[in-house]
Amino acid sequence: MRATFHLKTLTVAVAALSVASVASAAGLDRSGQDITAFLQDGTYAETVYTYIDADVSGKDSSGNKIDDIAESYDFFRYGVKADINDTFSIGILYDEPFGAAANYSGNNNFVDQNPLSPRNGEGTNVEVRTESITGILGAKLGENKNLQVYGGPVAQRVKADVKLRGEAYSVANGYTLNVNADQDYGWLAGVSYSKPEIALKAALTYRSEIEHTANSAELYPFVDSLPIPGLSANRSGDIEITTPESVNFDFQTGINPTTLATAKVRWVPWSDFAITPGLYNGFSQVLATLPQGTGIPPEGLDLVSYDKDQWQVELGLAKRLTPALAVSGNIGWDSGAGDPVTSLGPIEGYYSAGLGAKYNITENWAVSAGGKYLWFGDAEGQIPSKTVVSDFEDNDGFALGVKLSYQAKQNFN
């Protein structure tokens, strides 16, 4: 007799996988831009908290020790979804998709060691934060409503602060960039397919790039040491930052009436991404014409850029132990965005292993918790001129998450 894989019970298991299931290391990727809250059945709402702590340490090109530069960070994700009728669904999602948090300290080439400098003792620092709100409208198609198309607008806010300090950055020692918060808009579109009798769900989601034009302020102390017409050490003006497009594939299927297999695949073209401040780029174009500018292209330098695209894969299993309790496990791989890579984030992807559990408090309310261990890939850190200035090996980290969720069936008969 053929087994029926009831979604109501199997969802207890699969939901445990979505807590702390993404903790990306490539480029500026953070949340993984998960939309699975919208793909849940009936009325659904979730609040997810994720905490990530990494140990990223190494040596500079002089052999000096670089203590852990990765600042711990946390973020929230929210999702609400409801069916208008048996055809149309709406949802609103909030997440923090991209970001960076790194801080150098100690006695190394990324800390200003000049006792005559007003920045003496200051270390290289970067902080990037983004927030996104996504509205989604979905329409189920076909006689059995197995196929769904969905899409909607995305509002995104971005801000950034970067400080380059120490002799590793040569003449750029002391450079500072402040990017004020800017909000702009993009879109999302996707298609999903479900087959409830075997608990199968598959979804392919595309998110557009979002072009930001933000107010920024730059300080480049070395500029004033050269009499260059049209350039001064201070500049205020607009900067264009385009956050990348992405493609997510989410899949699950029942193996038996109490067990699910899941897979996630994500692609982000970080090789197309760059942060190019006007003063920093303009001065590098001048340097390209001087003997000390050997290797700098005529078009100047980006402050941050990446050489390769990111691929991320995660595979998992979830098992319902009792009607109220389920456990899960997953393994993952992230390709990173190249090596050597920017000294502001010297990691070449990771391997990961995670565990999670979900407990149904009531028929509608549940709490989930999960953790993941990350083995980071070794990487060489480079400055924008592509000069390798550091080496990072044998680093790791962990991610912890907790989720509170509500789900209720809607009946339109």
Report whether pLDDT(19) > 70: no
Q: What is the token pair recorded at 289?
A: 């014409």
Report whether pLDDT(160) > 90: yes
Q: Which pLDDT belongs to residue 18? A: 54
Mean pLDDT of 50-66: 93
State what percent of residues in the chain have pLDDT above 70.
93
Alpha-carbon span 57 to 59, nearest angstrom: 7
Q: Assess contact for 71 and 102: CB atoms under 8 A.
A: yes
- Residues listed for the chain: 413
| Cβ burial, residue 35 (10 Å; 0-12/13-18/19+) | buried
pLDDT tens-place string over residues 355-381: 999 899 999 999 999 899 999 999 999
Neighbouring residues of 142: CB distance < 8 A, sequence distance ≥ 6: none
Answering whether pTM is above 0.85, one says yes
- Give the range among 55-64, 285-294, 382-391 with minimum mean pLDDT: 285-294
Alpha-carbon span 386 to 170, nearest angstrom: 13
Sheet containing 58-60: give its strands across. 65-66, 58-60, 388-392, 379-382, 341-342
Alpha-carbon span 269 to 207, nearest angstrom: 12
Report whether pLDDT(301) > 50: yes
- Domain architecture of the chain: domains with CATH: 7-101+126-169+179-210+243-271+307-408 (2.40.160.60)
pLDDT tens-place string over residues 248-294: 999 999 998 889 999 999 999 999 999 999 999 999 998 888 876 66
